[in-house]
Amino acid sequence: MSEGAGVLAVAAGDPSRVTVIQITDSHLLQDADGAVLGVPTREALRRVLSNIRQDYPHLDLIIHTGDIAEDAHPDSYRHLDALVRDLSVPVVCIPGNHDDRKAMSDGLVSGTVHINRSARVGNWLIVALDTLVPNAEYGRLSDLELRRLAVDLASHTGMPALVFLHHPPVRIGSEWMDTMGLRDAQRLLDTVDTGAQVRALAWGHNHQIFDGRRGGMRLLATPATCFQFTPGDRDMELDQLAPGYRVFTLYQDGEIDTKVVRVSDAWFPAQSGSV
């Protein structure tokens, strides 16, 4: 496990077509068979990763954008560590509001997993930001994280970039969820708005899809690997959609293709496929 130690260099299998997969909000428990809101979260993540392994055998990077654990126990993180160990691809993790930084460090011990690391993959810069505020549902960017973002971008001015975080930097139109976003989002937006380098901001936390734009930059939320929330609701309501993940295909000219894939399994009472 590597933690916040500069930019990780990842050798792309095909530099002209880099594949990055975002997973998020797995809400793992110390009890490997435990469930949250009726969903066995470790089994759900196992099936998501099995789907990724089968359909994307040549991907370059996985990024987990937080709420890895529900209970912030080191054993919960060890479940993730064990599940990704045989994927033969680097995994970058950032904390969400349910996570604990020390427990993450104690539980994510394999060389496969890197905490709070930006990465160079082919011609692309992938920046992973920590927005955790302990004991709070909302997020903030520390001065250190914001400075790291600015330095990483300035040090790779010739590279298009994706920026990942846990908390949404924009309102998504869900009244209860919009109270738990990134409190200092304007500082982030001011940093990434300085040029066309950042092609997309992508986050977790919402347990639902969001796809918007800010100028030429994509704004993207990704479904959870466990339970989902219904978009547009005033109060929390569970959706019946299956667990999913987001695939990014990144081209040398700075163009992005992205889609959400949902698992297809009889154990989860939902429709499946890509959206």
- In terms of Cα–Cα distance, which of 193, 135, 201 is closest to 166? 201
Q: How far apart are CA 95 and CA 48, in angstroms?
A: 19
Q: What pLDDT score does 194 carry?
A: 84
Contact status, residue 260 vs residue 221, Cβ threshold 8 Å = no
**pLDDT per residue over 31-47, tens digit each?**
999 999 999 999 999 99
At 44-97, the pLDDT tens digits run 999 999 999 999 999 999 999 999 999 999 999 999 999 998 888 999 999 999
pLDDT bin (cut points 50, 70, 90) of residue 266 is low
Q: Which residues pair with 19 in a beta bridge?
A: 249
- Number of folded domains in the chain? 1
Please give the distance of CA 22 from its chain centroid, rounded to a whole number: 5
- Residues 177-196 have pLDDT tens digits of 999 999 999 999 999 998 89
CATH code: domain of residue 193: 3.60.21.10
- Between the alpha carbon of residue 65 and those of residues 6, 155, 157, 160, 268, the distances in Å are 18, 23, 24, 20, 23
Note the pLDDT of residue 269: 58
Query: How big, in percent rounded to 5, are the helix, strand and coil portions of the chain?
Result: 20, 30, 50
pLDDT of residue 264: 78
Q: How confident is the model at residue 267 (pLDDT cuts 50, 70, 90)?
A: low
Q: Coil, helix or strand for 260?
A: strand
Going by C-alpha positions, the residue among 213, 198, 223 that lies closest to residue 274 is 223
Question: Which residues have C-beta within 8 Å of that of residue 45, sequence separation ≥ 6?
Answer: 23, 26, 28, 79, 80, 83, 225, 226, 243
- Average pLDDT over the chain reads 92
Helix (H, G, I), strand (E, B) or coil at 18: strand
Are 22 and 164 spatial neighbours (Cβ–Cβ below 8 Å)? yes
Q: What range does the domain containing 137 cover?
A: 2-274
Number of neighbours of residue 255 by Cβ within 10 angstroms: 10
Structure tokens at 274: 């890509």
Q: How many CB atoms lie within 10 A of CB 128?
A: 28
**30 — pLDDT class (breaks 50, 70, 90):** very high
